[in-house]
Structure formats: structure tokens, C-alpha cells
Amino acid sequence: MTLPATITDEVRPDGDRAPVIVVEGLTKRYGEIEAVRGIDFTVARGETFGFLGPNGAGKTTTIKILCTLANATSGSARVAGFDSATQRDSVRRNIGLVFQDPTLDTYLTASQNLRFHGELYGVPATALGPRMRQVLEMVGLWERKDDLVSTFSGGMQRRLEIARGLLHAPHVLFLDEPTVGLDPQTRSSIWSYINELKRREDVTIFLTTHYMDEAENCDRIAIIDNGTIVALDTPEALKASVGKDRVQIQTADDDAAIASLASTFGLTAGLSEGAVTFAVAAGEQFVPRLFAELGVPIRSVSVSRPSLDDVFMSYTGKTIRDAEASSSQAMRQMVRMHGRR
Amino acid sequence: MATQTALPATQGELADSIRVAVPERGLRHDARAVGVVWRRELIRFRTDRLRAVTSLVQPILFLFVLGTGLSSLASRGMPHGLSFKTFIYPGVLAMSVLFTAIFSAASIVWDREFGFLREILVAPVSRGSIVIGKCLGGATIATFQGVIFLALAGFAHVPYNPELIAILVGELLLLSFTLTAFGVMMAARIKQFQAFMALTQMLVLPLFFLSGALYPLNGLPTWLTALTRIDPITYIVGPMRHAVFAHLAIPGVEQHLLAPSITWAGWAVPQWMALGIVAVMGASMMGVAIIEFRKTE
């Protein structure tokens, strides 16, 4: 009973599987502040779904509602087949959580932390030992299992939290800013562990991040700004939607090349990082024409896709850094106004 | 026990992954949660030897320094051969669990500040089992603390009688449970560690002084009599002293004078009722704590 691939299958990598998360018209209001403004999306089983946006965009609020830690003002969210407002325990049994802030008992050892979690989630006693070993090996902490968590570095603690979140074999693993506060090297090591667990576990991952480069690890990304989803697609499609690629060429005569680009192709080029740089749609297809018609010898060419930074910029009209600055300013203002009353 | 997964597990491709089915919530699951919260308290206590030692300092000071220092003065009121140390021993024994029990609840406030409480509260278990586990855990370590102090009974000329020790341990357990429940109830509301410590410190000493731990409950001025009767610790120090005196070789008249029954306007409250009051108070404070924790998140 194989059905011909449909267009939706291209949008959803696992189109033949039932969605694990279904969100409809979700709204969350804190007093006058509307943190989430009526968002809709679905996450397919096995997918890695990223929520990308600046701090204060509504990412954590959404994750809290999905995880039953907050009530939506209106709208609904279903996780692993259960309603996150009315079937809290069922949702909780089927999800793993890694919060932004650490939630380990640092006075206990790594394995004591895991055992505590396993007992609390009712993991069958016979499965608990082997499963603990499995998740600890997955994050490379098996050798340190009897060490106090207080002796762990920030990255190790985060890895232990990821292992703990997986211990009860949840259907969905929520990672709220899994790499926040870690140095770049540790961040990339965390990601290699996350990619490893995607390979080994049958788990859907829902994560939030404000790092553009990390969002590239996702199958699909929802860009959220000011409580609304402004774009939702695969990283590739999002970048393609920006349209233009970045082309950099090294030539024998840069000035002549710039002049020729303007006269022959009508492109505005400039010098950047010691190379003639310009933006053009479908850069790879443009390269053969470039060689044929430029009239200036080319020594090297590089074509790069737009980054997610460019994507965020094209959808919101600002860089993620600008958005963060303005939202924290708005937050401060809000606090000040409330404080005065 | 019914096990249920909302989505079927994919077979084959994850052959190396151990499938774990988290069960529906049930009594057995809740009992396991009580057990693991209880066990964590014991692990934390075992690794924190300093706390065990420091909480013994105060009762030892009371018994040996205050007890010895005041004995020459107090011995005038004592029947021949009875030491003042023996008289205050039951009260100081109660004190030895007082701090440990209430402060074991401080770990909730601590856990909240360091995020671990969140890990506990998002688990698919009833809040009741978490609170019960916490109360039993605090009661266990406080009682253990009391038992160490109980080992010093000989220094206060209290006999090591097995029956007496069994009664005292049982009463210590009851007291520890009620005090922990009180602490947990407070911790449900008070979010700052400093505030919790300040408030409990402020309450602990008055509770101790008003309990009749250091003086007999008869012949007191009316205002003090009234205060002693509303102090819950009174209802455990009374029976504890009664138990100790019942195992000493002193005449009945003297016993009545030094270890009188707790009276309400002349009516003597029976021992079982005094203990019952403490138990009911503990259970109801635990109930309040459960309700409070159900309200959060």
C-alpha cells in the first residue's frame, strides 16, 4: 500500500507518519503582554524541529505550554497524542525535558541522578540498569557515572541532562536552548551527541535556539518573532526563499571585473575579504555564464548559500541581534511601567 | 499494571535501544516515587557528615553544660538521687531532632533555587507522593540523629532499657515526622532560602522553651501555662518524660510532681491523646503541604 509521493511529503520528511506535535491557534497572554500570538504548526514523528528566534520571541513560552508547565490562554496543543492542558500526566510520561537552566542535584553522582529520574518516571526496575548504561554511554559519561555532578563541567552537566531526558525513552525530547551559556567548542560537541542520539533513538526532537548555525541541524525550522511564526520550512528551503546566493571571485583585475559585472550582467559588486563579491539568484547556474562572458580572467570562484542569518533578516527586516536588543529594551520598559503602578 | 505507549515503537531499526515503557500512574508507581524521594534524603544526609555532627552540638551543650551548671541550683527541687540532667534529658532528646527535622525541609527551598525541584515537579507522579517521601525522609534522618543522642542516655543516668528505648524511638519518629511536615508546609510557601532559615530559626527556640523541656509543667503562671498548652512540642515532651520516669526508681509522688500529666483546665490529657494530637497535627500539615504543591506549576 505505497502511495505516490505527494507534495506534502516533500514538506514533511515523514509525511506518512502521524504528527507527534499538533499546535492550533496557540495564544499566551501575560497581563497585557501577548507572548505567543496564535501560532499553528505540526511536528512529524522522528523529526528534529527547531524554534528559532531572538530571546523574548515566545520560544520558551511555547515549550512550556507543550510540556504542560504553563496553560495556554487559548488554542490547543497535542503532544504524543495527548492534550497538554487536560492530559498532563500522559504528556509528561511521553516527553523528556532539558531545561535552559540546570536541574541536576549536584550533590548526587551522575548515576544517582539518573536512578532518581528513572524511579520517579516508573521505569521498570529490570530495564533501569541497562538503560542507564545505554544513555550514559551515548553521551560519553559512563566512565564518570560514580562521580559527583558538582565535579562536572558545564558541557558534561548538559550532556547528563540530555541522557536523563532520554532515560524513560520519551517520544519527544524537548531541548530548550540546549547549548546556551556554553563555549563554541562544547556547543559543537553537544550537537554531535544530539546527532548521535537521533541516529540511535526513535525520538522526535523539539528544540529552541537563538543560534543560527545550530538551527541548521534541524529538519525543519520555525522562525518566531514577536510571538508569531514568520516562516516555517526546511533550512534549505528557507535559504532558497531568500533567493540570492553569494558569489565571490578572485580575478586578475578586480576593477575591470566589477565594471564588467555591472555592464554585462547589471550586477552591483564590491570588494569584500579581498574578493569581488556579489549576490545573484541561482549562483551555481550563473557560474558558467560568468566564465564565458566576464572577459576578465578568473582565478577562483566560490558560491555560498544564504545563511539563516540572511533568512531571519529577510523575514523580519532585522538581524537576530537587533531583535534581541529591542525586545530586551521593551521588556525593561514593561517592567518599569508595571513597577510604577 | 497497565503499560501504555501512545505511539507504537518502531521495531528493527532500533534493535540496540532498550525499549522502556513508562507505566500509567498507579499506586505502585506512586509508592516508588515516595521511596526514591525518601532515599535521596538519606543519601544527602550520609554524604553530609558535617551536618550530622553540628546538629548534635546544641543538645550536647544543653545537656552537659546547662544541665551540669544548673544542677547545684536545681537539685534542691529534685528528689534524692535524681540528677537535673536526667530531668531535662527527654526534653533535650526532643531538641536533638528539632533542628534536623525542620531543616531537612529546607532542602526543598534549596532545590527550588538550584532548579532540581523542577525536575521533581514535572515528573508524572502525584505531588502527594513527593511530599510524603520528603516528610518520611526528613523524619528518618532526624530520628537517626535522635538515636545517636539516645546513645548518650547513660551520661544522664537514664537506663538502657530495651522497652524504654523502643518507646522513645517511636516518639522521636512521630515528633520528627510532624516537624518535617511543618517545615515542608513552610517551604511550599517560602521561596527564599534566607527567609526560610530566618523564620524557622525564629520559631524553633520558642517551640523548645515553651514545651516544658527544661521545667515541669505544674505550678506555672497562667500566661505560661496557656502558652505551653498550645505548643505542639509539649505533647511529645510530656509522654517522653513520662516514659523515662516510669523506668526510674523514684516514688510515685515525686513522679507526679516532676513529670505531671498535661492538663487542660484541670483535666489530664491521656498519653495516647497527647501523641494523637501530635500525629494529627503532622498529618494535617502534610495535607496542607500537598495542597500547596498541587497549586504550583
Task: Share the mean pLDDT of chain B.
Answer: 87
Compute CA distances B25 → A282, B18, B292, whole Å: 56, 21, 21
Collapsing DSSP to helix, strand or coil, A19 comes out as: strand
Confidence grade of residue A327 (pLDDT, cut at 50, 70, 90): low
Q: Which residue has the higher pLDDT, A37 or A338?
A: A37
pLDDT (mean) for B84-93: 93
Tell me the shortest Cα–Cα distance from B108 to chain A, in angstroms.
Answer: 12
According to the model, what pLDDT value does residue A7 have?
34
CATH, residue A301: 3.30.70.260
> Has residue A318 been placed in a domain?
no
* Same domain assignment for residues A255 and A161: no
| Residue A171 domain boundaries | 7-234
Co-location of A220 and A257 in the same domain: no
Question: Which of B48, B50, B122, B127 best probes binding to A when mutated, by most A CB atoms within 10 angstroms?
Answer: B122
Contact B20 A168 (CB under 8 A): yes
Report pLDDT for A321: 67
Q: Is A319 inside a domain boundary?
A: no
Regarding whether A289 and A187 lie in a shared domain, the answer is no
- The percent of residues in chain B predicted with pLDDT above 70, rounded, is 92
Smallest Cα–Cα separation from B245: which of B82, B130, B93?
B82
- Span B207-224, average pLDDT: 90
H or E element that contains A339 = helix A320-340
| Tens digit of each residue's pLDDT (9 = 90 or more) over A127-155 | 999 999 999 998 999 999 999 999 999 99
Q: Are residues A160 and A300 in the same domain?
A: no
Residue A198's identity, in one-letter code, is K
The β-bridge partners of A148 are A109
| Residues on chain B bordering chain A, Cβ-to-Cβ distance under 8 angstroms | 5-7, 9-10, 13-14, 16-25, 29, 32-33, 35-37, 40, 43-44, 47-48, 111, 114-116, 118-120, 122-125, 297
Contact predicate B231/B211, CB 8 Å: yes
- Select from A213, A234, A255 the last residue of a domain: A234
More confident residue, B211 or A6: B211
The CA-atom distances, in angstroms, between A308 and each of A1, A52, A223, B34, B149 are 38, 10, 10, 48, 66
Average pLDDT of A83-94? 91
Whether residue A207 is contained in a domain is answered as yes
Q: In this predicted model, what pLDDT tens digit does every residue of B261-286 receive, in sequence order?
A: 888 888 888 999 999 999 999 999 99
Q: What is the pLDDT of residue B12?
A: 36
Is A85 within the bounds of a domain?
Answer: yes
pLDDT score at B297: 58
User: Chain B: residue nearest A199 by CA?
Assistant: B14
CA distances in angstroms from B208 to B165, B203, B211, B212, B227, listed in the order given: 22, 9, 5, 8, 12
Query: What pLDDT was estimated at residue A14?
Result: 44
Sign of CA dihedral A230, A236, A241, A243: positive
**Distance (Å) from the alpha carbon of A142 to chain B's nearest alpha carbon:** 16
Q: What does the pLDDT read at residue A270?
A: 74
Q: Do B6 and A171 touch (CB under 8 A)?
A: yes
Give B-chain residues touching A102 at CB under 8 angstroms.
114-115
Cβ contacts of B125 on chain A, cutoff 8 Å: 120, 122
Alpha helices (H) along B122-270 = 127-150, 162-189, 193-209, 222-230, 234-246, 252-258
Does the beta-carbon distance from A93 to B35 stay under 8 Å?
no
Q: Under an 8 A CB cutoff, do A201 and B17 touch? A: yes
**pLDDT confidence of residue A144:** 96
- How many angstroms separate the CA of residue B36 from the nearest CA in chain A? 6
- Report the gap between the CA of B16 and the closest CA in chain A (Å): 8
Q: Are residues A198 and A77 in the same domain?
A: yes
Q: How confident is the model at residue B38 (pLDDT cuts 50, 70, 90)?
A: very high
Same domain, A120 and A204: yes
Mean pLDDT of chain A: 83
Q: Report the candidate in B96, B92, B186, B187 with the shortest Cα–Cα distance to residue B141.
A: B96
Nearest chain B residue (CA) to A65: B297
Last residue of some domain: A214, A234, A254? A234
Asked whether residue A227 falls in the same domain as residue A261, the answer is: no
| A129 and A178 inside one domain | yes
Verify that A163 and A98 share a domain, yes or no.
yes
Instruction: Say yes or no for a CB contact (<8 Å) between A169 and B17.
Output: yes
Query: Which residue of chain B has the CA closest to A167?
Result: B20
Q: Pick from A92, A101, A169: which is nearest to B20 by CB?
A: A169
The pTM of the full predicted model, rounded to 2 decimals, is 0.80
| One domain for residues A170 and A298 | no
Q: What is the 3-state secondary structure (H, E, C) of B210-241?
A: CCCCCCCCCCCCHHHHHHHHHCCCHHHHHHHH
Lowest-confidence segment of A211-220, B31-40, B183-192, B238-247 by average pLDDT: A211-220
Structural domains of chain A, count? 2
A127, A227: one domain: yes
Contact (Cβ atoms closer than 8 angstroms) between residue B98 and residue B59: no
**Which cell is A285 given?**
547556474
Judge residue A111's burial from the number of C-beta atoms within 10 Å of its C-beta, 0-12 exposed, 13-18 middle, 19 or more buried.
buried
Instruction: Give the residue from A234, A259, A284 where a domain finishes.
Output: A234
As a whole number, mean pLDDT of residues B37-43 equals 94
The 8-class DSSP code of residue A171 comes to S
Nearest by CB to B297, from A69, A97, A200: name it: A69
DSSP codes, A231-287: EEE-HHHHHHHH-EEEEEEEES-HHHHHHHIIIII----EEETTEEEEEEETHHHHH
Burial grade of B142 (CB within 10 A; 0-12, 13-18, 19 or more): buried
Best mutation target among B19, B22, B39, B110 (most A Cβ atoms within 10 Å) is B22
Q: Are A122 and A157 in contact (CB under 8 A)?
A: no
d(CA A244, CA A280) in angstroms, rounded, equals: 5
Q: What SS3 class is residue A305?
A: coil
Bigger pLDDT: A181 vs A206? A206
Same domain, A274 and A215: no
DSSP strands (E only) in chain A: 19-30, 33-44, 48-52, 74-79, 82-83, 95-98, 172-176, 204-209, 220-225, 228-233, 244-251, 270-272, 275-281, 298-304
Residues 6+ apart with CB under 8 A from B10: A202
Sort out which chain A residues have CB atoms less than 8 A from B120's CB and list them.
120
- Measure CB to CB from residue A92 to each of B13, B35, B122 and give the nearest one: B122
Cβ contact, residue pair A105, B124, below 8 Å: no
CA distance A151 to A161: 15
Q: Is residue A222 predicted with pLDDT exceeding 90?
A: yes
Between A129-133, A318-322, B12-16, B142-146, the lowest mean confidence (pLDDT) is in B12-16
Strand partners, A44: A19
**Residue A188 maps to a domain:** yes
Interface test with B, best of A63, A105, A147 (most B CBs within 10 A): A105
In DSSP notation, B70-96 reads: HHHHHGGGSPTT--HHHHHHHHHHHHH
User: How far B14 CA lies from chain A's nearest CA (Å)?
Assistant: 7
A315 located within any domain: no
Domain-embedded: residue A177: yes
The cell for A312 is 531571519
A93-115: average pLDDT = 93
The Cα of B121 is separated from the nearest Cα of chain A by a number of Å equal to: 9
pLDDT of amino acid A318:
67
Residue B134: list chain A partners with CB under 8 A.
Answer: none
Residues in chain B: 297
Q: Of A94-108, A199-213, B247-261, where does mean pLDDT reach its minimum?
A: B247-261
Q: Please report whether residue A333 resides in a domain.
A: no
Q: Which DSSP category does A144 fall into?
A: G
pLDDT band with cut points at 50, 70 and 90 for residue B19: low
Between A335 and B160, name the one with better pLDDT. B160
Query: Which chain A residues touch B122 with a CB distance below 8 Å?
Result: 67-69, 92, 97
- The CATH number of residue A108's host domain is 3.40.50.300
- Segment of A165-169, A271-275, B78-82 carrying the highest mean pLDDT: A165-169
Q: Please indicate whether, in this complex, the C-beta atoms of B297 and A92 are within 8 angstroms of each other.
A: no
Structural element, H or E, at residue B57: helix B49-60
Confidence grade of residue A11 (pLDDT, cut at 50, 70, 90): very low
Q: How far is A231 from chain B (nearest CA, A)?
A: 29
